[in-house]
Amino acid sequence: MYALPPVYDFRTVEEEVRRFWAERGIPKKFLELNRGGPIFSFLEGPPTVNGYMHVGHVRGRVCKDVVLRFATMQGFWVWRRAGWDCQGLPTELEVERILGIRTKKDVEAIGMERFVEEANRLVDHYIQHWRKDSETLGLWLDYDTAYETRNERYMEHIWYLLKRAYENGDLIVSNKVVPFCPRCETPLSSHEVSLGYEEVEDYSLYVKFPIESMPGTYAVIWTTTPWTLPANEAVAVNPEETYVEVATGKGNLLIAEKLLDRVAAETGLGQVSVVRRLSGSELVGLRYSHPLAEEVGIHADHAPPAHTIVEAEFVSMEEGTGLVHIAPGHGPEDFELGKRLGLPAPCPISTTGVFTEEAGAFAGKNHREAAEDVIAALERKGLLLHKGKVVHTYPLCWRCQTPLVYLLSRQWFLRVDRIKRLMLEENSRVRWIPAWAGSARFREWLENAEDWCISRTKVWGTPLNVWTCESCGARRVVGSKAEIERDAIEKPQPLRMHRPWIDMVVFRCDRCGGLMRREPFVLDTWLDSGVAHFASVDYLSNPSLFERLFPYDFITEAIDQTRGWFYTLLFTSVLLFGKAPYKTVLTQSHVLDREGKKMSKSRGNVIWASDAFRELGVDNVRLYLLTKAQVWETMNFDPEEIRVVRSDLNVLWNVVSFAKTYFDLDRYDPEREGYDAYERFAEPEDRWIVSRVNSLIRSVTSSLERYELTDAVRALLRFATEDLSRKYIRAVRRRFWDEKRTPKKIAAYAATHYVLTRYLTVLSVFAPHIAEYLYQRIRSPSMPESVCLTRWPKVEEHRIDPDLEDAMEVADDVISSSLAARQKAGYKLRWPVARLIISPKSARAKDAVIRLLDYIARMTNSLRVEVLDVGQEPREAVKDLEPVLRSLGPAAGKRLNEVISALRSLRPMEVIESLESEGEYVLRLPDGTLFTLTQEHVQVVTRLPEWLREHEGRFARVYVDLKEDESVKALSAVNEVIRRVQVLRKELNLEVTELVDCRVYVDDSGWVEALKTLSEHFEEETRSRLEILGAPPRPEENDAVREWEVGGKRLVVGLKRTVGRGS
């Protein structure tokens, strides 16, 4: 038979449960549940498989698991195909590390074939780890049919999408300023750029731009990148700010007022005098002569708005002069501004960082070296106001430390303007949790969305499916691999869709007969995962499956996917189907380390999932991640705090262990002795816990339906510790101990079994391992073989009794108060009190107390319970008066002491009654004078006799009567002996049911009498035959003998096993 180990050890539990699941094939059966029933469709956000799973990932995967288990148990056929995001920069970088590649040329040398092969191998490796960790976690997705973004069939869906987009005019080629490493000759993604910021020293240049209409006046700009000046096309000001024209020895200068002092100090202008103040908008439109007009010929052709002052709200007063040099070919912001204003956007620097012919006098030189020439030219013309140095952060190539250069280049985009409105509309129909993630955050992102740049200059990715004719520029967007097989005039054998093979495919141009070659880009990986809604189910072959799943009921990822997956899914879905691809989105926030710092490999503070599972326990980690904070709030992961949930689970463990022990002892049969059959024997606490568990199921169900996972788990754990363990088990313990198989005892078993089966079912959604383990211990043959295969429990409304639940709350309050009153008097719980007096504070409280009178008596160890009327005091309470010196003192003056003693000599009730009816009472003092006492001079207090202790609770005031009559004394004495016998039994490791002989010696005749009178009670409690001795029992005649000093009495107890009795 199963026996429960004494403490909850997650290692053995989880190992055993995993083995059980594997042997019985439970996960497979679970995935098959409800096939053919109503569908709940989930779309897995594919983890990027370029590293291992850490606890941050675990949080998201636990959310997925909880929702999917819940849906399954509710009877849905759940669609939950796993998926893996296989391509992308991080993988490419790791391949480069493995192969020792540093530049683009190295890739060519080693061969792209080799490169891609290595990438595939890496992806295989990580997928294997992710699957293993996910399974250990208990996240049962359909891994066998998992979608992978590197699969050709998957990539064909992207091609299909882009072909459609191209036909509709949504796929366009356009220019964009991107960061380049001139040494590696490659553009860098924003992610790569953020890797490489460093503090560097650069020139700090102040340059004068002569204003044409105001000879002798100059706009002053500040720059640290002189190599961008040849491409200058405008100077921007902030229209809201104030500018000044100041007269200096170097001409009249235009500078922002707020920055004047700083600029004057840095450039050594000395004294300056303000000629006039102008608003930024007044400057707009002024033409200037390009400071390098003579050196850079192209500027001769540039007409306004080129070479004028323009306005831009991004001009800040934080640094520089408040006038910003604009080079549309070298800055993303500049380019956007230029596009809006219609500025030319020359980019006279090549991808190797060398000035081109367009740069005129500077052509042929590296842009950094040519900077000196630029400075020299400005100096010669008197346009350099100041040349200094500055240390600032600037992006370097993370590979080779070369400073980056921003260059205009040709990229492919998906247009957003046509679908933006529909995306916003569709978004408003999506249910976001929490709501602000969608209504505020995501909406804001959508409103500001710009065309999506999807082209990347990389190797390991989905290739862009656009072929361009070398001769006439005609384009062909290919929709499938089959199209290549059919139409290409050159293609490798076998044909593979990845680079480099795809680059070998050539078409003949329909229009001119020329050769069409592929645009050499791969695609942004966000497009890979962003088509999962239809690519993951192979829409192209199986549209009917797609129709059944789409739009998906549920997705969940971290909040950073607002601009990532949440966006790209919506984008492609609206583009293709005009509809949001998901109905409900649960957003999570990030998991940080104990101190609230981001987990990162370089900091060394990452907690890997597999380590956490092994060292902290899967269920513990799951519950911890769910309970500590709402999932959409960031949480700090502190392994120390795990013990809180572990201790909660241990309490549950003890409950089941306790129940299991007695179920086995009595061969309890839940099939025949269920709660239905025994409800009529149930005590109030049984009905209460049954009501409570139904209320719990109702609230957990509702929380889960609202995706408030944290609330659900908190309520669940609270029930186990508060309701089930602290209240219920404590209340029924004595019934469980009953030797006889009474209906009342079986009713308690039935209630416990009823509660546990339901509770464990609900728990299995959150902590499947321990739930399964405990479920197996109390499972009866007609129950499903695994807790994971059970149905979500139905709330049995007729068993919810809100009045009883309320009444129990009152009873608990009374019990606590009585314990507190005992404590004040140092009166132990094992000593019964003669009388418990309850003065309820309300009629409801009174009803409650009366309803649960017997329960209260049992739990407080009271021989009798008296319930008073609302607000009534016990008859032993005596009213008295206390002088209030603060008011009485000033009124009585010197006579104070006499007034007080006069007051004391009176019957308090007489004075109180007079004060109540007359509002005053006249005192006659010894010297014959009178003193008029009013209500504010005295305070009415209640005095209790010594033996009556009170405590005020929320619902009632409670008094315990500590007068020890004979029966109380006797019971107290016997209970003291019983307790010590139990200690001895335990030391002898006796079975709970084993009978013993018990020899007791005590040198107090009162105790001896008590033992004789209560011998039956004693024998029942201790499972023994009592023998009272006139002398201490001798060790040689007993299995154990112990001596105590109890309340001044000498007590010696001996125990002897009874051979052949008990078992």
128 vs 823 by CB, closer to RNA:
823
Angle 501-503-506 from CA coordinates, rounded to 5°: 110
**444: contact with RNA by CB under 7 A:** yes
Contact 360, 230 (CB under 8 A): yes
Q: Apex CA 835: angle with CA 833 and CA 837, to 5°?
A: 125
Per CB under 7 A, does 422 bind RNA?
Answer: no
Per-residue x/- track, 852-891, RNA (CB under 7 A): ----------------------------------------
Half-sphere exposure of 37 (CA within 13 A, CB side): 15
CB 284 within 8 A of CB 300: no
**Does residue 587 interact with RNA by CB under 7 A?**
no
Contact status: 11 vs RNA (CB under 7 A): no
Q: How many residues bind RNA, per CB under 7 A?
A: 64
Query: Which residue is catalytic, options 159, 467, 565, 608?
Result: 565
580 near RNA, rule: CB under 7 A = no
3-state secondary structure of 819: helix
Maximum Cα interatomic distance, the chain, rounded to a whole number of Å = 135
Interface with RNA (CB under 7 A), residue from 979, 1017, 1042, 1057: 979
| Binding flag, residue 116, RNA (CB under 7 A) | no
561, 608, 874, 997: which is the annotated catalytic residue?
Answer: 561
Residues 780 to 839: which contact RNA by CB under 7 A? 816, 819-820, 823, 826, 828-830
87 is annotated as an active-site residue: no
Q: Which of 217, 185, 228 is closest to 287 using CA atoms? A: 217
Contact 626, 97 (CB under 8 A): no
Quick check: 647 binds RNA (CB under 7 A)? yes
Query: Residues 105, 598, 824, 1012: which is the catalytic one?
Result: 598
Contact 919, 955 (CB under 8 A): no
Task: Determine, following the binding rule CB under 7 A, whether residue 729 of this chain makes contact with RNA.
Answer: yes
733 in contact with RNA (CB under 7 A): yes
Shortest Å distance, C-beta 953 to RNA:
8
Is 493 tagged catalytic?
A: no
Strand-strand pairing, 582-588 and 251-256: unpaired
Identity of the amino acid at 921: Y
Q: Which of 276, 392, 598, 794 binds RNA (CB under 7 A)?
A: 598
256 binds RNA (CB under 7 A): no
* Minimum separation from the CB atom of position 341 to RNA (A): 16
Pairing of strands 323-326, 405-414: unpaired
Is residue 399 a contact point for RNA (CB under 7 A)? Answer: no
**Closer residue to RNA (CB): 124 or 560:** 560
Stretch that binds RNA, among 118-126, 396-404, 555-563, 792-800 (CB under 7 A): 555-563
Contact letters (x/-) for RNA, 493-512, by CB under 7 A?
A: --------------------
30's CB contacts (< 8 A; 6+ apart) are 72, 140, 786, 788, 789
CB of 238 to RNA, least distance (A): 11
Q: Compare residues 905 and 989 and give the one whose CB is closer to RNA.
A: 989
Q: Interface residues for RNA in 981-1000 (CB under 7 A)? A: 982-983, 985-986, 991-993
Which of the ranges 26-34, 125-133, 557-565, 919-927 carries the binding residues for RNA, by CB under 7 A?
Answer: 557-565
Stretch that binds RNA, among 33-41, 70-78, 87-95, 444-452 (CB under 7 A): 444-452
- Is-catalytic flag, 601? yes
- 562's tokens: 């607002």
528-561 burial string, b = 16+ CB within 10 Å, else e? bbbbbbbbbbbbbeeeeebeebbbbbbbbbbbeb
- Is residue 914 involved in binding RNA (CB under 7 A)? no
Would you say 212 and 287 are in contact if contact means Cβ atoms under 8 Å apart? yes
Question: DSSP per residue over 549-561, as a string?
Answer: HPSEEEEEEEGGG
966 contacts RNA (rule: CB under 7 A): no
Residue type, 737: W
Any idea how long the chain is?
Answer: 1063
Nearer Cβ to RNA (276/598):
598
According to the binding rule CB under 7 A, does residue 628 interact with RNA?
yes
Catalytic residue among 159, 398, 501, 526, which?
526
Choice from 117, 560, 920, 965 touching RNA (CB under 7 A) = 560
Considering the complex, state which of residue 148 and residue 1021 has its C-beta at the smaller distance from RNA.
Answer: 1021
Spot the catalytic one: 271, 389, 493, 601.
601
CA distance 873 to 850: 17
CA torsion through residues 259, 265, 269, 273, sign: positive
Q: Is-contact 778 659, C-beta < 8 A?
A: yes
Query: Shortest Cβ distance from residue 710 to RNA (Å)?
Result: 7
Minimum CB–partner distance for residue 335 and RNA (Å): 11
How far apart are CB 921 and RNA at their closest, in Å?
32
- Assess whether 46 carries a catalytic annotation: yes
Look at residue 56 and give its three-state secondary structure: helix
The per-residue DSSP string of 692-727 comes to HHHHHHHHHHHHHHTT-HHHHHHHHHHIIIIIIIII
Q: Which range in 92-100, 146-154, 567-575, 632-640 contacts RNA by CB under 7 A?
A: 632-640
Q: Is the dihedral of CA 56, 58, 61, 65 positive or negative?
A: negative
How far out from the chain centre does Cα 682 lie?
41
Active-site option among 85, 538, 686, 813: 85
Per-residue interface string for the shown chain with RNA, residues 1003-1042, x marking contact by CB under 7 A = ------------------xxx-------------------
Per-state percent for the chain, helix, strand, coil, to nearest 5: 45, 20, 30
Piece of 203-211, 657-665, 907-915, 966-974 that binds RNA (CB under 7 A): 657-665
Q: Residue 975, interface with RNA (CB under 7 A)?
A: yes
CA angle 804, 810, 814 (to 5 degrees): 135
Nearest distance from residue 110's CB to RNA, in Å? 33
Helix, strand or coil, per DSSP, at residue 965? coil
Phi first, then psi: give them for residue 154, nearest 5 degrees.
-65, -45
**Contact status, residue 218 vs residue 210, Cβ threshold 8 Å:** yes
Q: How many Å apart are CA 425 and CA 414, to the nearest integer?
A: 19
- Which stretch, 261-269, 338-346, 435-443, 894-902, contacts RNA (CB under 7 A)? 435-443
Cβ atoms within 10 Å, residue 883: 18
Among 441, 491, 496, 851, the residue binding RNA under the rule CB under 7 A is: 441
Mark 86-105 with x for binding to RNA (rule: CB under 7 A) and - for no binding: --------------------
Q: Which run of H or E residues covers position 361? A: none
d(CA 673, CA 675): 7
Active site residue 85: yes
Q: By CB under 7 A, name the one of 409, 721, 1013, 1015 that touches RNA.
A: 721
What region does 989 belong to: left with phi over 0, alpha with psi -120 to 50, or beta? Answer: left
Whole-number Å distance between alpha carbons of 11 and 596: 29
Query: Is-catalytic flag, 21?
Result: no
Q: Which residues contact 933 (CB under 8 A, 6 or more apart)?
A: 899, 903, 911, 915, 920, 921, 922, 923
Query: From the list 314, 417, 909, 1012, which residue makes contact with RNA (rule: CB under 7 A)?
Result: 314
Q: Is 598 a catalytic residue?
A: yes
Q: Which span sits near RNA by CB under 7 A: 52-60, 633-641, 911-919, 1041-1049?
A: 633-641
* Residues with catalytic function: 46, 85, 526, 561, 565, 598, 601
Q: Which residues bind RNA (CB under 7 A)?
A: 6-7, 314, 316, 333, 436-437, 440-441, 444-445, 448, 559-560, 562-563, 590, 596, 598, 628-630, 633-636, 641, 644, 647, 650-651, 654-655, 657-658, 661, 710, 721, 725-726, 729-730, 733, 737, 816, 819-820, 823, 826, 828-830, 975, 979, 982-983, 985-986, 991-993, 1021-1023
